[in-house]
Amino acid sequence: MFKIVRVENAEHWKRFLNLPGSIYQGDPLWTPMPLESQKQMFNPQSNPVLRHVRYECFIALQDKKTVGRIIAATDDLLKDNRVGLFGGFECINHPEVTRGLFEAASQSLFSRGKTIIQGPATMNTSQQVGLLVEGFRLPPQMMMPYNPSYYKTLLEGNGFYPLLDLYSYQWRQEEAVNQHKLFAVAKRAARIPGIKLRPINLKDTWGEGKKLAELHNQTMTQQWGYVPMEQEEAAYYLAGLRGYTDPELLFFCEVDNIPVGVCLMTPDLGPKIRASRRYGFPRPFGEPKSLRVGVLGVAPDYRRRGVAALLIEKAMKIGIRKGYQRAELSLIMESNTNMNQIITTAVGSRVNKRFRIYEKVIDV
């Protein structure tokens, strides 16, 4: 027998945070988020997103052993006020335990006036989203979703159905084709009067965060799960990158000093994390060979003027110059036809992973 318990005390939190280590104990590809970063996610003093996000966490206990967990979250800024979110889902391969977790999450959301549950989305739709459904043999980049293949069966067996897919692309210099098309479009964009590319100033995360938030709120309004980004959230995000990202990998495209595009890349520290996990302590590790392009956004008025190509060309040149051998471009919604076309035809990249957002009508 098992029981579902609401996380309310230090012992519960310890169980909640430690469960993934048990689920993925024998999986060499698991790339855990640092424990301190996990704790900060739930701390209102550390995570400004919690100003408009409300959450409850639950764990499943079986014979005093933790066998599952889930987060039920609501976002005051989410456009569709019928929708609540689930995230942080981890569970043994047990349909009944899964059902118990989702019943608890659904009841929590229903009590807050929600009639639809969507996810996975950890805390809100601006943070980690999606369930990995294709690409299990490939190691995840740091902070990217990763889960056992049986999670798909557990969700669909509990009445969830696919809402949308998100793609991850892999770029390798030696495999790229048709880049002359990309460079031609980028060259045309470079002729726009007043246009320039410049690194983001990580010494001024507050000022740069204002520009990033404004650009986000222009570029993402038509995307699933859009919530407005506040200046404090953007500044917090940029400050978090400061410790491990080369500032040259973060840059704006501006026209007359007004941002019209942004590209944010981070080095893949996954191999280092996995090596430390394998040996039980940090080990010396060479420079990362892979990048993740996590944000690539263009203001609507400039989407047909080649600015995306200009950003991608700049990203490729920086990556090659700095010795990166490959890059992951993620997550791209399947509905983002323009960006998917640019990546597949002009850049020459191919989908290497697929992530899925699920939905279910709450029935309690």
- Cβ atoms 338, 134 nearer than 8 A: no
Query: Does residue 359 form part of some domain?
Result: no
Mark whether 38 and 92 lie in a shared domain: yes
Mark whether 181 and 158 lie in a shared domain: no
Task: Determine the Cα–Cα distance for residues 230 and 77; give it in Å rounded to an integer.
Answer: 11
- Cβ atoms 239, 222 nearer than 8 A: no
| Structural domain ending residue among the three candidates 141, 166, 191 | 166
Rounded to two decimals, the pTM is 0.92
Mark whether 159 and 219 lie in a shared domain: no
pLDDT digits (tens, 9 = 90+) for 290-339: 889 889 999 999 988 999 999 999 998 898 898 888 888 888 899 888 88
How many domains does one find in the chain? 2
Mark whether 232 and 285 lie in a shared domain: yes
Q: What pLDDT is attached to residue 286? A: 58
- Where does the pLDDT of residue 143 fall: very low under 50, low under 70, confident under 90, or very high at 90 and above? confident
| Structural domain ending residue among the three candidates 113, 134, 166 | 166
Mark whether 181 and 80 lie in a shared domain: no
Among 26-30, 191-195, 317-321, 326-330, the range with the most confident prediction by mean pLDDT is 191-195
SS3 for 295? strand
On the CB side of 56, CA atoms within 13 Å amount to 17
Is the model's pLDDT at 285 over the cut of 60? no
Query: Does residue 353 form part of some domain?
Result: no
Task: Determine the Cα–Cα distance for residues 146 and 19; give it in Å rounded to an integer.
Answer: 14
Helix, strand, coil distribution of the chain in percent, nearest 5: 35, 30, 35
Q: β-pairing, 350-361 with 116-119?
A: antiparallel
Find the length of the chain: 364
On the CB side of 126, CA atoms within 13 Å amount to 24
Query: Does residue 357 form part of some domain?
Result: no
Q: What pLDDT is attached to residue 59? A: 96
Mark whether 126 and 221 lie in a shared domain: no
Task: Determine the Cα–Cα distance for residues 14 and 35; give it in Å rounded to an integer.
Answer: 11
Query: Does residue 258 form part of some domain?
Result: yes
Task: Take residue 87 and report the two structure tokens written for it.
Answer: 């995230």
Is the model's pLDDT at 97 over the cut of 80? yes
Query: Does residue 172 form part of some domain?
Result: no
- Where does the pLDDT of residue 182 fall: very low under 50, low under 70, confident under 90, or very high at 90 and above? confident
- Where does the pLDDT of residue 278 fall: very low under 50, low under 70, confident under 90, or very high at 90 and above? low
SS3 for 326? strand
Query: Does residue 358 form part of some domain?
Result: no
pLDDT digits (tens, 9 = 90+) for 118-127: 999 988 888 8
Q: Distance from CA of residue 269 to its chain's centroid?
A: 15
Task: Determine the Cα–Cα distance for residues 29 and 20; give it in Å rounded to an integer.
Answer: 13
Q: What pLDDT is attached to residue 121? A: 94
Mark whether 145 and 195 lie in a shared domain: no
Query: Does residue 356 form part of some domain?
Result: no
- Cβ atoms 153, 131 nearer than 8 A: no
Mark whether 189 and 126 lie in a shared domain: no
Mark whether 153 and 188 lie in a shared domain: no
Mark whether 183 and 332 lie in a shared domain: yes
Task: Determine the Cα–Cα distance for residues 290 and 219; give it in Å rounded to an integer.
Answer: 26
Residue type at 243 in one-letter notation? G
Residue type at 37 in one-letter notation? S
On the CB side of 38, CA atoms within 13 Å amount to 12
On the CB side of 179, CA atoms within 13 Å amount to 14
Other CB atoms within a 10 A radius of the CB of residue 196 amount to 13
Which domain range does residue 59 map to? Answer: 2-166
Q: Distance from CA of residue 266 to its chain's centroid?
A: 12
The set of residues, in sequence order, having a beta carbon less than 8 Å from that of 22 and lying 6+ positions away, is 66
- Cβ atoms 89, 101 nearer than 8 A: yes
Mark whether 157 and 184 lie in a shared domain: no
Query: Does residue 35 form part of some domain?
Result: yes
Q: What is the CATH number of the domain that holds 40?
A: 3.40.630.30
Mark whether 144 and 284 lie in a shared domain: no
- Cβ atoms 28, 278 nearer than 8 A: yes
